[in-house]
Amino acid sequence: MMRLMIFDNRDSYTFNLVECFRKIGVDEIHIMTEDDYSPEKLLDCERIVLGPGPGLPDDHPILFDILDNVKAHQLVLGICLGHEALAIHNGGKVKQLDRVFHGDVARVTPTVSSDPIYSGMPSEFHAGLYHSWIIDEDTLPDNIGISSRSELGLIMGLQHKQLPQYGFQFHPESYRTQDGLLLLRNWYNLI
């Protein structure tokens, strides 16, 4: 069984993620693109990362096909574009921000101090942002919970309430994110 699959939305940050997971001791990492994607290949994955990428989730329909085909025991993490895809897949929407956050830093606060994905993190930490769209909180479905927010009140993290599916709007692999490796390790070790 494949330990970790990272879906590459043709984004250079994918390789930063690969390096981060290698640093925390993951040695079996498969990078999948739309060219070699098939639902059958997902069956071999214990953990799936829906990586960042350009544009909007609707520009990457394979993200929704992946989410349609993951099983309840598979651990999923959406980062930026992948995070937005998780919300849309469950019935939410995204909206364009008044400004672009590219290389900016947000102060992020977990909403539940006992959330294991934020275990060992400070009560407020800095996170690198590279986005101009955000999940529209007014459209967030009941089965998705907010796990963290920025100092502007924007959703920075989410979690499915019934499935092991998580999302970060920020980039844990960014050098601008405080303890990003710890966040990735926490997620990886959830199952």
Q: Give the number of other CB atoms < 10 A from CB of residue 74.
A: 19
Q: Give the number of other CB atoms < 10 A from CB of residue 79.
A: 29
Cα 162 to Cα 178: distance, rounded to the nearest angstrom: 28
Name the strand (E) or helix (H) holding 29: strand 29-32
Cα 53 to Cα 19: distance, rounded to the nearest angstrom: 17
Per DSSP, 171 falls in state B
| Active-site amino acid positions | 80, 171, 173
Query: What would the two tokens of residue 176 be?
Result: 């601008």
Residue whose C-alpha is closest to residue 76's, from 146, 150, 1, 7: 7
Bridge partners of 179, per DSSP, are none
Rounded to a whole number of angstroms, the distance between the first and last alpha carbons of the chain is 14
